[in-house]
Amino acid sequence: MPRDAHYDRLLAIVNSLPGTAEKRPWGDEPHWTVAGKIFAGWGREGDKSVLGVKTEKPMQAMLVASDPRFTIAPYVGKHGWVSMALGAKPNWDEVEALILGSYRLIAPKKLVAQIAGGAPPAKTAKAAKPARASKTAAKTKAKTKAKTKAAKARQSTKARQGSSRVAKAR
């Protein structure tokens, strides 16, 4: 593939991140990995330059709804990935922020800690597990309490029976 200004600039951004590697798993289009996992990909669709990155799902929805340059990425869109049409003169600060955000979502925490800004972004809160888990805990607690109460009642009964036997034996 001949040298491309977009590719060269993307490569410079990616190479500034620790532990990255370039792979071309599906032909000529480069994909960048960290710890063996893809965090960004780039290619040309005709004369259009396109970057693919992972985002949190709420961010994906916001980008796709508000900016025509973004589409849900084929195949991996269900995991929060977006495709961004870079255009003739991309906003490289924006591109770098998207690549860095994707890197933070994919890279091991030790590598993320090495870059400016430190820790990965907080994950969006997932829906709480159904109340079933707490019901199970409550049932277990209730059963344990009932068993303890029954054991105490048996001990009390045995103690009373034992004291009445002692009285009868006298």
* pLDDT tens for each residue of 39-63: 999 998 888 999 999 999 999 999 9
Give 42's strand partners. Answer: 51
CATH match for 5-112 among 3.90.1150.30, 3.30.470.160, 3.40.50.720, 2.60.450.10: 3.90.1150.30
What are the boundaries of each domain within the chain? 5-112, 129-170
CA 89 to chain centre: 32
* pLDDT tens for each residue of 114-163: 987 665 555 555 555 555 555 666 676 777 777 777 767 777 666 666 65
CA distance 65 to 85: 15
Whole-structure pTM value: 0.68
Inter-axis angle of helices 92-106 and 5-15, to 10 degrees?
Answer: 50
* pLDDT tens for each residue of 8-51: 999 999 999 999 999 999 888 999 999 999 999 999 888 899 99
